[in-house]
Chains A and B, each alone.
Chain A
């Protein structure tokens, strides 16, 4: 693995893994605790519309996703909260509309759409420097907003009704959170791909939750787990010559299942009483 670091694409891949871990560790914690996994899946898939837009207009598909996914997430938030449609129905509809737009846009693009597969399933080995800069910028925004609004996000994630009573701007914060999810999706597209984004938003946080009863510790642990999975998955995929995105996810999935099996066998939760 060390000799692999002499290659620029390998250094880029590691950096991309690190940037992805910061974003999905922070936001994944909220996705899991606030139970908005399905909304996040919807936003992730709707971002395909942006990838298509990127191909059609000739700008990079990742930039296209960044431009498209943010308003898509806000529409998702407004429709799920304000329309008469049940929340899961609204998510299912917008999820599919986003993907359908992507297919149409790519169909309208003259010629062949190169690397389409890598946006759907990720390819951490082909991240260009320009995407790394975008990922870094999004990471900074996510980190800043999550730090400034820590107490607000904790309140609305734990008890939305009480938050509303004490005057927390619940609806606005929900939209801010969805916007952060949209940014995280863009950061993760290169690493694991649109289809697998939801796994990096859930697996590290779900695993971290088993070791702590504190939200910020859960965030820190999620970032660490994410990095272990991206780094380990990258190394395994390099050694075994298989797809990197899928290897990262499978490694995380196996770690979570093993952790569940161990606590099942020992019949007690991993986190001990009073450990905060």
Chain B
């Protein structure tokens, strides 16, 4: 299996404070990984390293065998909270077209082909009927669908989602996870989330990050790992399709 993302011994610090310490992390083709960990544990930083927005102090980062930031279009990204001004004069259709920038290029207008892809993608996430709406008029969940559509218009091989569920009504979250599950058949997904129980239903693999990567493997994460990651006891609730889980024995990476 080809590795889309390969991080080797990656270190990042802000103002002398280490955020990521010796991270080894990889994402394979069509893998669906849940990334969990406490606030300030470096989850967003890890995504930003993969995107090439942050250069690590040390270590090697390869995204599809190239340095990060050079595989534009092949990596889709939905940021944590939409950092935008809700009254910004832009329509849903225009937001999604923005994702085609790397195909259109500097000075060029978006082509008919760009618009067709935007239409197809908006239909796929069920937001086409809102294409002329101003983005700020949509609910949080609808906005997330639009931002996902924006990150999909270049048919990425890797989709990075930073806590996309935060702004979504709990009732809508199941539907949203189903959308991600459908997408995960065509691309690799790294999903940062707090909701461990929901993750355990939908994702294949889990990575626990708190400055160090405490665990990276199949989703049967034991409470010891979660405690080590969060540095405090975590109640692990398994529910969903499987009535009870057999938890694999916890192993420290590098043991």
Contact = CB atoms under 8 A, between A and B. Distances in A.
Contacts of A166: 72-73, 98-99, 101-102
A221 to B, nearest CB: 10
B87 A155 contact: no
B79 interface: yes
B89 A212 contact: yes
B133 A274 contact: yes
A45 to B, nearest CB: 25
Interface range on chain B: under 10, 10 to 19, 20 to 34, or 35 or more? 35 or more
A154 B83 contact: no
Interface in A124-151: 148-149, 151
A264 B196 CA distance: 44
A159 B83 contact: yes
Contacts of B88: 33, 157-158
A213 B89 contact: yes
A213 B134 contact: yes
Contacts of B99: 166
B237 interface: no
Nearest to B80: A161
B77 A215 contact: no
A209 B107 contact: no
A275 to B, nearest CB: 9
Contacts of A161: 53, 79, 83
Nearest to B94: A154
Interface string B149-188: 0100000000000000000000000000000000000000
B106 A276 contact: no
A83 to B, nearest CB: 16
A256 to B, nearest CB: 15
A246 interface: no
A11 interface: no
A161 B98 CA distance: 12
B66 to A, nearest CB: 13
Given A165-B53, A167-B72, A155 B84 contact: no
B48 to A, nearest CB: 9
B139 interface: no
Contacts of A276: 91, 132-134
A218 B134 CA distance: 13
A152 interface: yes
B132 A274 contact: yes
A interface, by DSSP: helix, strand, loop or mixed?
helix
B248 to A, nearest CB: 35
Interface string A27-49: 00000010100000000000000
Contacts of B82: 159
B95 interface: yes
Interface residues of A, number: 32
A169 B134 CA distance: 25
A152 B106 CA distance: 7
Which of A157, A162, A163 is most buried by chain B, counting CB atoms within 10 A of its CB? A162
Contacts of A148: 107
Interface string A55-73: 0000000000000000000
A36 to B, nearest CB: 13
Contacts of B104: 151
Contacts of B72: 165-167
Nearest to A148: B107
B85 interface: yes
B11 to A, nearest CB: 22
Interface in A224-259: none
Contact of A151 (B53, B79, B101): B101
Given A158-B95, A164-B53, A212-B89, A151 B84 contact: no
Interface string A178-221: 00000000000000000000000000000001001111011000
Interface of B: 51, 53, 69, 72-73, 75, 77, 79, 82-85, 87-91, 94-95, 97-99, 101-102, 104, 106-110, 132-134, 137, 150
Q: Top 10 closest A-B pairs, CB basis?
A: A213-B134, A167-B72, A166-B101, A276-B132, A215-B89, A213-B89, A165-B77, A155-B98, A276-B91, A218-B89
13 contacts: A33-B85, A33-B89, A151-B101, A158-B84, A160-B83, A165-B72, A165-B75, A166-B99, A166-B101, A212-B89, A213-B89, A214-B89, A273-B137
Interface of A: 33, 35, 148-149, 151-152, 154-155, 157-169, 209, 212-215, 217-218, 271, 273-274, 276
Given A148-B107, A276-B134, 12 more contacts: A33-B88, A151-B109, A152-B101, A158-B84, A158-B88, A161-B79, A163-B98, A166-B102, A167-B101, A215-B90, A217-B89, A276-B91
